[in-house]
Amino acid sequence: MQPNFITRTAAVLALALPAGASYAQGNPLEAERWKTRPVVVVVAQPGDPLLARLRATLGETAAREAFREREMVLYTVVAGEGRRNDQPLEKAQTAALLKALQLDARGPSSFVLVGKDGGVKLREGPSIDLQEVFAEIDRMPMRQR
């Protein structure tokens, strides 16, 4: 995968996905509550297969639209550096995010879906399928309303 592709994908996501409220130095997930469904992906290195597969999937128009339609935002922590929709987080925010979800930036690779209520709805490893995540969200009572 070429860096330009990743940059373009991130730029498209940043424009297409709902913007979060500005958040303080604490856990950035607090600002997402009742507004968005955060997806948190934590990997130890940039070339991790989980991250590559997720970015490739979100590079597809249908998946990107499904992500946006479900009011999802993407948090990534790659080699300890946090981002929200490819916008950098402060170090303290990244640390608070990891602590809140009991994740380690050194691994293992993790995928966490957080609901609009702030609760963890799904916790998976590197074999996650984004289509299954969409189906899980569609079964949620808030989504059905």
Tokens of 96: 């608070």
Q: Cβ distance 64 to 58 under 8 Å?
A: yes
CB 71 within 8 A of CB 37: yes
Per-residue model confidence as pLDDT tens digits over 19-46: 433 344 689 999 999 999 999 999 999 9
**How many angstroms from the chain centroid is the CA of residue 121?**
13
CA angle 54, 61, 65 (to 5 degrees): 85
Residue 142 — pLDDT band, cuts 50, 70, 90? low
Q: What is the mean pLDDT of residues 8-25?
A: 44
CATH code for the domain of 89: 3.40.30.10
Give the chain's domain count: 1
The model's pLDDT over 90-132, given as tens digits with 9 standing for 90+, comes to: 999 999 999 999 999 998 999 999 999 999 999 998 888 898 9
Q: What is the DSSP letter of 126?
A: T
The encoded tokens of residue 46 equal: 């940039």
Vertex 90: Cα angle to 93 and 6 (nearest 5)? 105
Spatial strand order in the sheet of 87-88: 87-88, 81-84, 72-78, 37-43, 110-114, 120-124
In 53-134, DSSP assigns E strands to 72-78, 81-84, 87-88, 110-114, 120-124
Give, as one character, the DSSP assignment of residue 75.
E
The predicted structure's pLDDT at residue 12: 43
> Which residue would you say has higher pLDDT here, 71 or 16?
71
Mean pLDDT of 81-97: 95
- The range of the structural domain enclosing residue 16 comes to 3-144
Instruction: Flag whether pLDDT at 2 surpasses 60.
Output: no
143 pLDDT band, cuts 50/70/90, is low
